[in-house]
Amino acid sequence: MSKRTIWRLVSTLLICGVCAYFFLPLSKIRLGLDLKGGVHFELEVQTHEALEADIKDTSDRLQDRLKEKGLPAVVSHDQTSVKVEGFTPDQKPAVEKVLNTFGNYDVAYDATSAKLTQKAAYQQFVKEDASKRALTIIENRVNQFGVAEPEITQSGRDGNRVVVELPGVSEAERERIKGLLSTPGRLEQRLKAKGDPTSYRGFPTREAALAYFNGTLPPGTELLPEPESDRDLRRAGQVPTHDPKHKGEEKIKSWHLVETKVYVDGGDINDAHRAVNPTTDAHEINFTLNRKGSDDFATLTGIASDEGRLISVVLDKKIVSNLSTKEKISGGSVRVSGSFTKEDADDFALKLKSGAMRASMKFLEEKSMGPSLGADSIRSGVLASLLGFGTIIVFMLFYYRWSGLNAIVALTVNLIVMLGLMGSFNAVITLPGIAGFALTLGMAVDANILIFERIREELKAGKSVAGAIQAGFDRVFWTIVDSHVTQLFAAMLLFIFGTGPVKGFAVTLTVGVVASLFTSIYISRFIYDWILERHPGTKTLSV
């Protein structure tokens, strides 16, 4: 064997080995919902939270608006209404004018106060919007988590339920996905209230804080808990443990009084990702803000530095960290460090990227589900695919004799490479996917047919065996490249612009094209060359 042959043999075997690693043993292959079933989650969107959030937003905006107009009114809110109080009767027309701009609200006036409630149609709209948003965000999160071929549907009479069905999910992934799906992922940056003198320390308990304020909190503020972080534990000389059993039972370290006004929220985040702090080795989340977000962030840091106050970073109603700043920061690039494990930080970043839900989700049920296709459908589908593929093999042998065997080796390598690439992408195989495999192999044989037909033509034109093989491959090379590259372009654009199942399909198509390109020009050529090397000067070629 020449050096070149050995080198080609080794590289071929190496590629096959690497590919085999990704799908052997066969249990590594993830089967789709139709073949194997999976897990079924049912969640309910807590739409009333969206209504409450809207009330709170309105209350904040109303206060700002009244302040702008120089009106001394005080705005407060409970769960269902916003109250405006403390204006004099002669200021009433001016207040009315401001309130009239809140068209989605019904307003009931007194001499010196007004009460705003959401209109029924508007409530309906807010609820539907919250459900729709939750659905999109769940889709985003599931897709970014990397579970392929999920089935996500909206159900229930009011459309406020979301059913998520996922194939091939392990027990550990299941827990993580549950957390990922049910928490809103709302990040807020607020100011620590002026009245709270405790700085970083905070109040030890909620009761202590309430006692300090004599039972009533100053208007426009609320008490939020700060969970104990890894750093605190390390400082206390303990090793932080992340026992998954105790997840969600984190210890509350302290309570802080913070303003209810949100300066920057998650909606203004462009991109977020996890990073590791080189000095402390802690996991952090870096995110960049859009234009509005960075303006707001500059305002926030401006106030904080001028008045010497702390900024509280709040995630889902819990304080992640309190920060101080010496100067106004513009540019919109923010880093948050806190008590994160690697997974926590990844999930946190993913939540920030996928956007915040208007309302949290409640888990209604979780159960395993069997395959959606009957055993007989699966059997006939697989058999038909095997039959189609088998017939092509027989036909190639019959029509091209020994060269047909060459094509079969190429097809086998093709199949190995395809399975390997699919495995490395964590792709899920469904019954249509298996049919797609058979079809792709049927099309891949086209490259071999092109080559063999060309070799026959060249032999007929009187070329020697070696010359015919050489000319055959050379002539056909660009044909194969052109036809594959166009398909590859199409597949990649489907991947970039397509969503959901189309993306998964684009991966399969890309994999098929790449595998076919490799086997037809590299493997088939190599087999011929090897045979020519062993039988130099052969006069006939079985093609």
Partner 1 sequence: MRIFENLPHIDFMKYKTLALSISWALILACFFVAQPWKGSAGRVKLGMQFTGGIDMQVRFRGDMPQDKVRAALVRGGFADAAVVAYESKAGLKDYSIKVKARPGQDEKDSTAQINHIREILRGLDVNAGDPKPDLNTETIGVIADQWIKSNPLGAQGDDTAIRAAYDPWLSKISAARERFAPMTSFDQLPTDLPKVLGDQIKNTYRLGNLSFVKNESFSPSISGEWTRKTLTAVAWALGAILVYIMIRFTASFAIGGIVALIHDILLALGIFAVFGFEFSVPVVASFLILLGYSMSDTIVVFDRIRENSHKPEYRRATITQLVNDSINQTLSRTILTSASVLFVALCLFFWGGPALRDLSFPLVIGVITGTYSSIYIASPVVVYLEKWFPRHDSLKQKHS
Whole-angstrom distance, CA of residue 452 vs CA of residue 448: 6
Number of residues that bind partner 1 (CB under 8 A): 82
Give helix then strand counts, H and E, for the chain. 14, 19
Whole-angstrom distance, CA of residue 251 vs CA of residue 141: 27
Do 437 and 415 contact (CB within 8 A), yes or no? yes
Tokens of 65: 């608006």
Residue 209's alpha-carbon distances to 126, 255, 259, 318, 450, in angstroms, are 34, 7, 15, 16, 81
Site string for partner 1, 75-114 (x = CB under 8 A): ----------------------------------------
Q: Is 475 in the site for partner 1 (CB under 8 A)?
A: yes
Q: Is 129 in the site for partner 1 (CB under 8 A)?
A: no
Of residues 233-292, which lie at the interface with partner 1 (CB under 8 A)?
A: none
Residue 60: other Cβ atoms inside 10 A: 18
Q: Which is nearer to partner 1, 77 or 161 (CB)?
A: 161
Q: Is 486 in the site for partner 1 (CB under 8 A)?
A: yes
Whole-angstrom distance, CA of residue 319 vs CA of residue 540: 80
Least Å distance between CB 416 and partner 1?
19
Q: Is 502 in the site for partner 1 (CB under 8 A)?
A: yes
Site string for partner 1, 15-34 (x = CB under 8 A): -------------------x
Q: Which is nearer to partner 1, 208 or 485 (CB)?
A: 485
**Residue from 62, 177, 315, 438 in contact with partner 1 (CB under 8 A):** 438
Site string for partner 1, 318-357 (x = CB under 8 A): ----------------------------------------
Q: Is 463 in the site for partner 1 (CB under 8 A)?
A: no
Q: Which is nearer to partner 1, 195 or 390 (CB)?
A: 390
Of residues 405-434, which lie at the interface with partner 1 (CB under 8 A)?
A: 430-432
**Residue from 20, 53, 329, 435 in contact with partner 1 (CB under 8 A):** 435
Least Å distance between CB 144 and partner 1?
17
**Residue from 305, 463, 483, 518 in contact with partner 1 (CB under 8 A):** 483
Q: Is 482 in the site for partner 1 (CB under 8 A)?
A: yes
Of residues 375-404, which lie at the interface with partner 1 (CB under 8 A)?
A: 375-381, 383-385, 387-389, 391-392, 395, 398-399
Q: How far is the first Cα of the chain from the last one, in angstroms, to the nearest whole number?
A: 24
Of residues 139-168, which lie at the interface with partner 1 (CB under 8 A)?
A: 151-157, 159, 161, 163
Q: What is the dihedral of CA 27, 29, 33, 39, to 10 degrees?
A: 60
Least Å distance between CB 137 and partner 1?
14
Could you tell me the strand order of the sheet in which 113-118 lies? Answer: 74-77, 81-85, 113-118, 105-109
Look up tokens 């017939």; give the residue. 391
Burial of 337 (0-12, 13-18, 19+ CB in 10 A): buried
Q: Is 443 in the site for partner 1 (CB under 8 A)?
A: yes
**CA proximity to 428, closest of 51, 55, 35:** 35
Q: Is 367 in the site for partner 1 (CB under 8 A)?
A: yes
Residue 467's alpha-carbon distances to 140, 392, 405, 474, 531, in angstroms, are 55, 28, 21, 10, 14
Do 83 and 113 contact (CB within 8 A), yes or no? yes
